[in-house]
Structure 1
Amino acid sequence: MRLRHKPWAADYIKEHEGLMVLEPFEQKGNWQTLFERAQPIGLEIGTGKGQFVANMAKQHPEMNFIGIEKAESIVVTAIQKVKEVEASNVHLVHENAEDLRDMFAENEVDTIFLNFSDPWPKTRHEKRRLTYKSFLEQYENVLKDGGKIVLKTDNRGLFEYSLTSFSQYGMKLEDVSLDLHALEDESNVMTEYEEKFSSKGQPIYRCIATFQ
């Protein structure tokens, strides 16, 4: 899907300094100072249009949230979504975080959310999948002891690959659902993609994994 270029996006992002973290690499080890209260940090990698991170922040005032999105034309919509919920416990980052260890210190994050990540289905692109072992090494470093990864996807191939990757890395699988919405989990906060796919009757897969 080609993104529509928004020539005003860069200026819009700068206008929302405070909600946006314009120098995220300088925050390494000090993310809690951006929030009103020191609370567990939930990090969404690939926050898209922001519906998930905005609603999570609204529903869970006992946590702080950070959403990372590399696409400039999409992050402006995330800004608008967060502004709508008027939550003070969320910040957004416009960055391509190739290595989270450059942005977060050891044990600085409590939960990582991977929502509808690019499945990169071709074998030669395996290393780009966000559940490939090199990414798991990053997550293990920045997550606190007992920290968890929450994965949701509509892609069966990526889901099966991720379960195998988690297991081979020695992680513990706490929850595996092949049809999340059949569970009628009221605590589940949907993304835009999730609403779209589930409305068509497509199953949503979820897994919660922790490092041991």
Structure 2
Amino acid sequence: MRLRKKWWARPEMEESSLVITEPREYKGRWKDVFNNGNEIYLELGCGRGEFITKNAMANPDKNYIAIDLKDEVLVCVLRKVKEAELTNVRIIPLEIAFITEIFDENEISRIYINFCNPWPKDRHNKRRLTHIRFLEKYKQFIKPGTEIWFKTDNRELFDASLEYMTNCDFELLFYTYDLHSSDFQQNTLTEYENKFVNLGMKIMFLKAKLK
């Protein structure tokens, strides 16, 4: 679904210290942004922010960074974070292909990827956020042992992602083709996930760790 351009979104975001519009300035200095040494968890493609807001509320001893491209969705994230009075979240408008330009070695301790674009055509596969091309980028700034948590409703993307992970020095810790029928207890619902589950769709999930 195409979002209608909201011209007021960027000015509202620029007024808040929670939004980092020039993230390249903070490469290697993200602990200073949060003013603490807590681990930093990253959500790539954060949508309207329900997932990251819930996680930040439940884990005040962790820092969270939400990245997405569209101001129209990020302004919704900002409003949710402000309403919850959270200080452990920062929001970055960014094309994820440029992710290595804003983080330095060992800055990130976990990555969440929820319901990203499956890019089903073969010529577009390399745009997948779980593709080896992206995994190699993440390895430039994640700590050893960092986990990637990935959810999707797309079976072909999920099967390919299992292969990408195992071929890129990640150890599969857990995976399931039906998350909501599994015994995994740490799931946080996203907006999309709520809709999919209500439609009777199965959610696939994997957790992989950098060796």
> If the TM-score is normalised by the length of the shorter chain, which range does it land in?
over 0.9
TM-score where L is the length of structure 2: 0.96
> In the alignment, is the contact (CA less than 8 A) between 1:99 and 1:138 conserved in 2?
no
1:160 aligned partner: 159
Letter in 2 for 1:84: E
* Alpha-carbon offset, residue 93 of structure 1: 0.5
- Quote the residue 1:127 is aligned against: 126
Number of equivalenced pairs: 211
Q: Within 5 Å, give how 1:29-178 maps onto structure 2.
A: 29-178=28-177
Structure 2 match to 1:10 = 10
Could you tell me which residue of structure 2 aligns to residue 191 of structure 1? 190
Whether the 8 Å CA contact 1:101–1:142 is kept in 2: the answer is yes
Q: SS state of the match for residue 83, structure 1?
A: helix
SS in 2 for 1:99: helix
How many angstroms apart in 1 are the aligned matches of 2:100 and 2:94?
Answer: 14
- The 2-side partners of 1:174 and 1:154 are apart by 20
CA distance in 2, matches of 1:210, 1:187: 16
Helix, strand or coil for the counterpart of 2:149? strand
SS of residue paired to 1:78? helix
- RMSD of equivalent CA atoms: 1.2
TM-score by length of 1: 0.96
| Cross-structure match for 1:25 | 24
Runs of at least 5 residues in structure 1 that lack an aligned partner in the other structure: none
Superposition deviation, residue 62 in structure 1? 1.6
Give, in angstroms, the shift of residue 82 of structure 1.
1.0
In the other structure, the counterpart of 2:209 is 210
Q: Percent identity?
A: 40
Q: Deviations over 1:21-41 (max 9, x none)?
A: 121111100011111421111
Moved more, 94-103 or 125-134: 94-103
- Deviation of 1:135 after TM superposition, in Å, equals 0.5
**1:141 aligns to what SS in structure 2?**
coil
CA contact (8 A) 1:171 1:210 kept: yes
Superposition deviation, residue 183 in structure 1: 2.7
- Post-superposition offset of 1:98: 1.4
Distance in 2 (alpha carbons) for counterparts of 1:9 and 1:88 = 21
Counterpart amino acid of residue 198 in structure 1: V
Q: Distance in 1 between matches of 2:110 and 2:37?
A: 15
Give unpaired runs (5+ residues) of structure 2.
none
Distance 1:100 1:107 in 2: 14
1:44-76 CA distances to partner (integer Å, 9 max, x unpaired)? 011110111111100111210000010111111
Is contact 1:57-1:65 (8 Å) kept?
Answer: yes
Contact 1:100 1:142 in 2 (8 A): no
Change (3 A) 1:37 1:207: same
CA offset digits 1:141-161 (Å, max 9, x no partner): 111011111101111111111
